[in-house]
A = this chain, B = another copy of it.
Amino acid sequence: MAITIRDIAQHAKVSVTTVSRVLNDRPDVKEATRVKVNAAIDELGYSPNIVARGLVLQKSHVIGFIVPDITNPSFPELARGIVAQARGYGYSVMFYDTNHDRRVEKEAIRLLKSKQVDGIILSFNEANKEELERLKHEHFPIVQIYRKSSNSVVSTIALDNVKSGYVATKYLISLGHKRIAHISTGEQVQSGSERLQGYREALSEAGLPYEEDLVCFGVNSAASGKECMEELLSLDESGRPTAVFTCHDIMAAGAYDAILAANLRIPDDISIIGHDNNQLSLLIHPKLTTVDTYKHQLGQKGVDLLLEQMNAEEPTYKEVLCETGLVIRESTRSIE
């Protein structure tokens, strides 16, 4: 600490300019002086003040990352992907958890900009529209992950939820199921509405009817998943589904509860497919068939997209849709 470029300049008997040159690997410095300077650096244990450097270079090599709730299982893996990818490009990441509070979101953005981050990756629940508009207007580099409003105003990286809903449902169809229920988070939630759409497309393609009785709306929690499943189980024998696609693994875990409580077996009596490939999905019994969202990769691509923006002359705008992948485990079975 407290030891600066000036100290090592004195110690090596050269100017600060020269020290700066060897620090930045400039070619225009004699080998002998380079050695001398490096010796001084080692001897005094100097490490450059990147903040001061950023001041003159107008670049902090820090990006901001804002999430509503890091304990939500969608985020830790995403965070890893972001941190790892950023590190690869020489960037650090400043992290905010807003606890779903819009005021905190706004404050986080303000603070991050005050701290001169070069760009921000964020994932708001309800996109804080005015804030995003302002940032866009300023051409401030920003990427939204898992956007929740379809008419987003900034560059976005999201899941292809329609496709994943389609794939999950289609898999159940391929196993011979005809009465396939869906536990959804509803039309108001972007992922919910998109996965529902995929579900409908798969049914329709297979010539199966869309039955309102078989679609249940709840929120992303085990309790809600359980309630929905109970409702589905209350249908009379002939109307009861043989398979269920739940919008999230956590809701599937709740559905498990309801099914076990009804003395039914998974997948013998009923097949379940979840979505997200939470750690949880491997720990519940039977292991849950689900759809992986490759969150780590999502984070990496988010950083790539952000850097692309930061390096672009003209402000760019892009929407990237990421693939998902079926993970077949033990909670689904063929009924042919």
**Which A positions have Cβ atoms within 8 angstroms of B?**
1, 47-52, 54-55, 60, 62, 65, 69-71, 73, 75-77, 79-80, 83-84, 87, 92-97, 99, 104, 110-116, 138, 140, 222, 250, 253-254, 256-257, 260, 279-280, 282-285
A1-B140, A71-B76, A93-B94 known; A50+B114 contact, CB < 8 A? yes
Instruction: Identify 23 residue pairs between A and B in the complex whose beta-carbon atoms are under 8 Å apart, listed by A's number.
Output: A1-B140, A47-B114, A48-B114, A50-B111, A51-B51, A55-B55, A62-B94, A62-B115, A65-B95, A71-B76, A71-B77, A71-B279, A73-B279, A75-B76, A79-B97, A83-B95, A92-B115, A93-B94, A95-B95, A254-B283, A257-B285, A280-B280, A285-B285
CB–CB A99/B114 < 8 A: no
Q: Is the CB of B1 within 8 A of A138?
A: yes
**Residue of B with least CB distance to A79:** B70
Query: Given the complex of chains A and B, what is the CA–CA distance between A62 and B230 in angstroms?
Result: 49
User: What's the Cα separation between A115 and B62 when bound, in Å?
Assistant: 9
Q: What is the CB-to-nearest-CB distance from A94 to chain B, in angstroms, rounded to a whole number?
A: 5
Whether the Cβ atoms of A110 and B47 lie closer than 8 Å is: yes
User: Which of B1, B104, B116 is the one whose CB lies under 8 Å from A49?
Assistant: B116
Cα distance A283–B76 in the bound complex, in angstroms:
19
